[in-house]
């Protein structure tokens, strides 16, 4: 679920706002990870980070960029979830495989392009990072934050949306009531996660703000829904989400609050 992050949304100009329209992305179509992208700030849709208020004593990244997550990013996503969330709230490897196979265009990763002497090379995800581009194999594409989603026919996130059909590879349509619904008009944010060492820099809130803009512009959904802790309701309200009260979802054995961002055309400009 999401974390309590303070956004510095004025820094969103650049890579986040200029992302390509939503479309399924294959490994061969993935961006090369050009290290010249400018600096920005970027965390989970169910749960939230404890404290993401900017901290002056933490170093800043030289550059980062956001791109749709690929199947090749699954190992890094697993490492990120392990670092960010308690075991009962983590997304499993197979669930990542399912979500990034069915609708990777709905999920975003915040990466930095790091050389061996960079701060990011000590991140939990660095050990499984891939080369940023073939011309410089020592420079790695390190995942710092991700936002993972599916679509639903419900207007709020339900346990069926949080789940997935375990036999999805062999029988993809065997349990149509579970997991991603391509015809749905609600984007469910399942995970907005930032590595613990990079929390407190505004990455999560900026990533969410950019994501809301991207989904509204694409026209693929009427709303974004997520689950969060009661204490984080004010944080999401500041980003334009409406609190609908206690959720029926019981994922992870946690009492969640339902929050929804309805697209009304002028919603973004009013925040």
Parse the chain into domains and list their residue ranges: 9-270
Instruction: Give pTM, 2 decimals.
Output: 0.76
**What kind of fold does domain 9-270 have according to CATH?**
Aminopeptidase (3.40.630)
**pLDDT of 133:** 80
The answer to whether the beta carbons of residues 141 and 129 sit under 8 Å apart is: yes
> What pLDDT does residue 157 have?
97
The predicted pLDDT at position 19 comes to 52
Report the alpha-carbon distance of residue 169 to residue 147 in Å, rounded: 23
Quote the strand ranges of 169-268, DSSP E: 186-194, 223-228, 242-246, 257-262
Does residue 205 contact residue 239 with C-beta atoms inside 8 Å? Answer: yes
- pLDDT score at 265: 56
- Element holding 162 (H helix, E strand): helix 159-162
Q: For each of the chain's 271 residues, which pLDDT tens digit applies?
A: 553 333 333 333 334 444 556 766 544 344 433 322 222 333 333 444 433 443 333 444 557 889 999 999 999 999 999 999 999 889 999 999 999 999 999 999 999 999 899 999 999 999 999 998 878 888 999 999 999 999 999 999 999 999 999 988 887 676 788 999 999 999 999 999 999 999 988 898 889 998 999 999 999 999 999 999 899 899 899 999 999 999 999 998 989 999 999 998 554 344 4
Query: What pLDDT was estimated at residue 23?
Result: 66
Around Cβ 158, how many Cβ atoms within 10 Å? 21
The pair of three-digit structure tokens given for residue 267, joined into one six-digit string: 């919603």
* pLDDT for the residue 174: 64
pLDDT at 30 (0 to 100): 42
């Amino acid at each position: 679920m999401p974390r309590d992050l303070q956004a510095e949304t004025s820094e969103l100009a650049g890579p986040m706002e200029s992302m390509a329209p939503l479309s399924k992305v294959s490994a061969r179509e993935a961006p090369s990870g050009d290290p010249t992208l400018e600096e920005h700030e970027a965390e989970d849709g169910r749960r939230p980070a404890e404290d993401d208020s900017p901290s002056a004593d933490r170093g800043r990244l030289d550059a980062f960029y956001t791109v749709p997550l690929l199947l090749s990013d699954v190992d890094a996503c697993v490492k990120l979830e392990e670092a960010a969330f308690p075991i009962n709230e983590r997304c499993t490897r197979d669930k990542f495989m399912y979500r990034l196979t069915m609708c990777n265009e709905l999920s975003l990763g915040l990466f930095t392009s790091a050389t061996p002497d960079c701060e990011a090379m000590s991140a939990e995800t660095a050990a499984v990072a891939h080369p940023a581009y073939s011309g410089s194999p020592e420079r790695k594409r390190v995942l710092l934050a991700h936002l993972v989603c599916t679509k639903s026919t419900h207007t709020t996130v339900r346990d069926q949306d949080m789940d997935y059909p375990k036999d999805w590879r062999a029988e993809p349509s065997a349990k149509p009531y579970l997991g991603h619904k391509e015809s749905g008009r609600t984007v469910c944010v399942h995970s907005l996660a930032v590595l613990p060492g990079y929390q407190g820099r505004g990455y999560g809130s900026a990533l969410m703000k950019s994501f809301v803009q991207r989904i509204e512009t694409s026209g693929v959904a009427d709303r974004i829904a997520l689950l969060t802790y009661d204490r984080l309701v004010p944080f999401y309200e500041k980003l334009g989400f409406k609190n609908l009260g206690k959720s029926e979802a019981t994922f992870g054995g946690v009492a969640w609050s339902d929050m929804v961002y309805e697209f009304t055309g002028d919603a973004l400009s009013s925040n």
